Amino acid sequence: MIDVRMAELDDIDTRVLDLLKSKIGREREIAMDSNVVEDTGLDSVSVMDFVMELEDEFDISVPLDEIAEVRTVSDLAGVVRRLTAAGASV
C-alpha cells in the first residue's frame, strides 16, 4: 500500500515536470530544482496559465496565494501533491 502511494507521489513530480517541459519547448533544460520563472523564460502570467493546466490535469483547485510562494518546479509539484492528497482524503 505504502509503496503504491510513494509511486503515485513520484509520478506527480514527473508529470508536473513533463507538462512544464512541453509548455516551454525544447530550448531550455529544466529539472526539479529549476526556478519556474527564471529558468523557464515564462513571465508571471504564463506561470499562472500553466497552473490552470495543472488544475485540469490533476482535477484540483490551486489558490493564487499558494502560487506566490512557489520558487522551484519541486515547490510547484509539492503544492499539487498536497492538494491531490487533500482531495483524495475528503
Partner 1 sequence: MGIKNRAAAMQSAYSALKALGRDPTSLQFDRIVSPTEALLGNKPIMLFGTNNYLGLTFDEACVEATVAAAREHGVGTTGSRIANGTYELHRALEQEIAQFYDKRATILYSTGFLANLGVISGLADKGDHLLIDADSHASIYDACKMSDGETIRFRHNNPDDLAKRLARFEGTPGDKIIVVEGIYSMLGDSAPLAEIAAVKREAGPNVYLLVDEAHSLGVMGETGRGKCQEAGVEDDCDYIVGTFSKSVGTTGGFCVSNVEEFEALRAYSRPYMFTASMTPPTVATARAAFQRMAEAPELRERLWQNCHRLYAGMAKMGYRLGPEVSPVVAPQLPDPQTAVTLWNMLIDAGLYTNIAIPPATPNALSLLRVSVSAGHDDGQVSAALEIFAEAGKELGLLKPGNIAA
| Interface residues toward partner 1, by CB under 8 A | 43-46, 48-49, 51-52, 55-56, 59-65
Q: Which is nearer to partner 1, 4 or 61 (CB)?
A: 61
Q: Which is nearer to partner 1, 12 or 67 (CB)?
A: 67
Q: How far is the CB of 69 from partner 1 (least distance, A)?
A: 13
Give the chain as a 3 state SS string: CHHHHHHHHHHHHHHHHHHHHHHHCCCCCCCCCCECCCCCCCCHHHHHHHHHHHHHHHCCCCCHHHHHHCCEHHHHHHHHHHHHHHHHHC
Q: Which is nearer to partner 1, 14 or 22 (CB)?
A: 22
